[in-house]
Amino acid sequence: MRAIEEDDRDVASFPGQRPPRASVGSHRIEEEIFGKAYDPKTVRRIWAFVRPYRLKIYLSVAAVLVFTATQLAIPLIIGRAIDSGMTQGGNSTNLLWAVATFAVVVVINYAASWIQESQVGQVAENVLFDMRRAMFAQLQRVSLSFMDKTEVGRLMSRLQGDVNSMQEFLETSVISVGDMVLLVGIVVVLLTLDFRLGLLTLSTMPILFIVRIFWLPPAKRAFWAAHETNSITAGAMAEGINGVRTVQNLDRQRVNFDLFDDKAYNNLLTQLTGSRFAQVMVPIVDSLTGIAMAIVVVVGGSLVLNGGLEIGVIVAFLFYIQRFFDPIRSLTMQYSIMQRAMTSGRRITEVLDIPASINDKPDAIALTRDMDGSVEFRDVVFGYSADRPVLKNVSFKVNPGETVALVGPTGSGKTSAMSLVHRFYEVQSGAVLVGGHDVRDVTQQSLGEQVAMVLQEPFLFTGSVFDNIRYNKASATREDVIAAAKAVGAHDFITRLPGGYDGMLEQRGSNLSLGQRQLLSFARALVADAKILVLDEATANIDSYTERQIQKALLTLLEGRTGMVIAHRLATIRGADRIIVLQNGELIETGNHDQLMEKGGLYAKLYNMNYASFDDIPDELVAQANARAAST
């Protein structure tokens, strides 16, 4: 009866069958491309970014026009050179003039192409970086409730992917102005050179237009499918790399290989379809070019015979025909680029339009270091949505220099209370006062400087240990940093790291243990040297050795500061001057350890259960304790 016997991992009824509950990567990517090609609102927003560079844009549009004109002129000049005396014994002065004109035009062409390309390229890059910065700056101001709900990956794709497709659009749009002018120019020139021959030759042009119109929708779908399946395959590959340990652990290699093969093979098929669509245009364009050339030769030739046409004109015609179809091709492509750009533009403006729900008042004052360091909650009502309050009429005051432990079961509102001191969110009613000032009346910058915060999950940035401890306190010297590290007991392990304080942290400190990262974040708070410290104690199990170190560091950190600690450890709780017990968003008890024990309420009941931490107490036991506390 070994467990292995009931293993159904290989139950496939025929080779190649895939298990019913298996997949690799995700099945689709979230992106839409078949939107409107022109959306005035989005265009206006994009224009706001381009506006600072408008002179450069005007200049490059002018350069494009000049460039196109010279492109048009060159075949004409060649034709003229041939006609004005390029026969045996002809006039070489005329030829000289023609070549001189050609030289001038070429120099102008050179200058115009330089101006156009460099201006457009630089403006596109500038706009791209400006947009990204605007979004990034906006994200620094938006409310945390938005950030709580939004995944970092999704925001990143807007900061990168969407911005990039805007760049593509900006670069090509000026060029497509040139294409349009070129197209019109060729038509005009051909008709002027010889109306009948021009008309005949141009008659091939609508054929290409019609073909493109029918070709474009399925081709675009095919290109999109190739792109999409490619992203999906790449995603599955990335997942395979990131999750490789779990894959090997659970012996999924064979199944995953086959599933990956499905995706990769599907991508191969869509890529081939895409290639077919792209390449089928080549013989069509070439045949049309051939037809146009044949028309010029036959009809033009007989016109020459009748004396109605000069040979130079035929040469010029043949030149134009060879560049005839390029603008049509790129213009139809431009349409898809515009569609993509509009979608991206809309998504970018969405980010820019997220309201920054918390703003400084115009007359906000700066909170200074000489404030008394008290924290007061006055009838605070707060919730993440209006109908579900997390804190219900909570009032308490933390006196300067006092350490208060916030205690309560999960969901009691401890973390929310802590966030309010820092004005991460706005209260629904009541007020939070820091140093006697309503947090809404002071600048957020100065509030941040006076209220230091240590989060439950220590977060480190890529960079050196030194940079991480100093963070944005530019005035902190190396000595300050080392002193802080010593004070929290992090100095020893830092000096043992390769590079010491200047050693780079790998992948946000993944080479450090959780406890060590915790100590670094303590040191960071110590360097910030704020009057008030708000701290969310880590719940995760840290080994007992580091745990002691952290307890000692906490003591140092709270020295001479007002402290609000969300406490999980009994040692921390018992050491606090005062304990505030929260439950379901209400303050139910307050007092020091001895007072609360004497009172025999919820705190006493929970404490007597002998758990190492309040968070370890199972929900139903909390409920029981609650019931008992209520009955006494």
CB closer to other proteins out of 176 and 468 = 468
Min dist CB 366 to other proteins, Å, is 12
Piece of 107-115, 190-198, 428-436, 581-589 that binds other proteins (CB under 8 A): 107-115
Q: For residues 114-143, which are near other proteins according to CB under 8 A?
A: 114, 117-118, 121-122, 125-126, 129, 132-133, 136-137, 139-141
Min dist CB 447 to other proteins, Å, is 7
* Cα Rg of the chain (Å, integer): 36
609 binds other proteins per the rule CB under 8 A: no
- Cα angle 306, 312, 314 (rounded to 5 degrees) comes to 65
**Which burial class, exposed, middle or buried, applies to 477 when counting CB atoms under 10 A from its CB (0-12, 13-18, 19+)?**
exposed
> Which tokens go with 310?
């000069």
Contacts with other proteins, 458-497, as mask; x by CB under 8 A: -x-xx--------xx-x-----------------------
Piece of 382-390, 556-564, 580-588, 624-632 that binds other proteins (CB under 8 A): 556-564
Figure out which of the listed residues 295, 406, 488, 625 binds other proteins, where binding follows CB under 8 A: 295
Residues in Cβ contact with 41 at an 8 Å cutoff, skipping those fewer than 6 apart: none
How far apart, in whole angstroms, are the C-alpha atoms of residue 337 and residue 322? 25
407, containing H or E segment? strand 403-407
435 binds other proteins per the rule CB under 8 A: no
Figure out which of the listed residues 252, 440, 517, 605 binds other proteins, where binding follows CB under 8 A: 252
CB closer to other proteins out of 67 and 377 = 67
Piece of 100-108, 199-207, 340-348, 389-397 that binds other proteins (CB under 8 A): 100-108
294 binds other proteins per the rule CB under 8 A: yes
264 binds other proteins per the rule CB under 8 A: yes
8 Å CB contact between 445 and 475: no
How far apart, in whole angstroms, are the C-alpha atoms of residue 276 and residue 424? 55
- Cα angle 137, 139, 145 (rounded to 5 degrees) comes to 155
251 binds other proteins per the rule CB under 8 A: yes
Alpha carbon 396 to its chain centroid, in Å, reads: 41
CB closer to other proteins out of 113 and 495 = 113
CB closer to other proteins out of 41 and 510 = 510
269 binds other proteins per the rule CB under 8 A: yes
> Which tokens go with 399?
């006196």
Q: Which has the closest alpha carbon to 60: 121, 125, 128?
A: 121
Min dist CB 344 to other proteins, Å, is 17
255 binds other proteins per the rule CB under 8 A: yes
203 binds other proteins per the rule CB under 8 A: no
How far apart, in whole angstroms, are the C-alpha atoms of residue 391 and residue 394? 6
CB closer to other proteins out of 105 and 342 = 105
Half-sphere exposure of 90 (CA within 13 A, CB side): 13
CB closer to other proteins out of 262 and 441 = 262
Figure out which of the listed residues 81, 341, 398, 505 binds other proteins, where binding follows CB under 8 A: 81
- How do 532-536 and 451-454 pair as beta strands? parallel
Figure out which of the listed residues 218, 283, 355, 436 binds other proteins, where binding follows CB under 8 A: 283
CB closer to other proteins out of 122 and 477 = 122
Q: Which has the closest alpha carbon to 58: 66, 182, 336?
A: 66
Alpha carbon 129 to its chain centroid, in Å, reads: 13
Figure out which of the listed residues 253, 357, 511, 608 binds other proteins, where binding follows CB under 8 A: 253
Figure out which of the listed residues 73, 166, 314, 564 binds other proteins, where binding follows CB under 8 A: 314
Min dist CB 298 to other proteins, Å, is 5
Q: Residue 111: what residue type?
A: A
Half-sphere exposure of 587 (CA within 13 A, CB side): 17
Three-state DSSP class for residue 482 = helix
Figure out which of the listed residues 43, 62, 74, 191 binds other proteins, where binding follows CB under 8 A: 74
Min dist CB 139 to other proteins, Å, is 7
Min dist CB 31 to other proteins, Å, is 12
Min dist CB 38 to other proteins, Å, is 27
Min dist CB 196 to other proteins, Å, is 16
Residue whose tokens read 């110590």: 526
Q: For residues 215-234, which are near other proteins according to CB under 8 A?
A: 233-234
Q: For residues 356-385, which are near other proteins according to CB under 8 A?
A: none
8 Å CB contact between 519 and 489: yes
Residues in Cβ contact with 486 at an 8 Å cutoff, skipping those fewer than 6 apart: none
Residue whose tokens read 């844009």: 57
Three-state DSSP class for residue 372 = coil
CB closer to other proteins out of 342 and 442 = 442
Piece of 34-42, 113-121, 336-344, 598-606 that binds other proteins (CB under 8 A): 113-121
**Helices assigned H by DSSP within 194-252:** 195-202, 205-242, 244-249
Alpha carbon 97 to its chain centroid, in Å, reads: 58
Half-sphere exposure of 459 (CA within 13 A, CB side): 6
542 binds other proteins per the rule CB under 8 A: yes
32 binds other proteins per the rule CB under 8 A: no
CB closer to other proteins out of 210 and 244 = 244
Tell me, what DSSP letter sits at residue 508?
G
CB closer to other proteins out of 55 and 104 = 104
CB closer to other proteins out of 25 and 389 = 25
Contacts with other proteins, 144-183, as mask; x by CB under 8 A: x--x---xxx-xx--xx-----------------------
How far apart, in whole angstroms, are the C-alpha atoms of residue 414 and residue 567? 9
How far apart, in whole angstroms, are the C-alpha atoms of residue 435 and residue 531? 10
194 binds other proteins per the rule CB under 8 A: no
8 Å CB contact between 160 and 31: no
618 binds other proteins per the rule CB under 8 A: yes
Min dist CB 326 to other proteins, Å, is 12
Min dist CB 419 to other proteins, Å, is 9
Min dist CB 187 to other proteins, Å, is 20
- Cα angle 346, 216, 191 (rounded to 5 degrees) comes to 105
CB closer to other proteins out of 264 and 364 = 264
CA distances from 528 to 335, 362, 522 (A): 53, 26, 10
Alpha carbon 56 to its chain centroid, in Å, reads: 28
Q: Which has the closest alpha carbon to 225: 165, 267, 276, 265?
A: 267
Figure out which of the listed residues 212, 422, 517, 531 binds other proteins, where binding follows CB under 8 A: 422
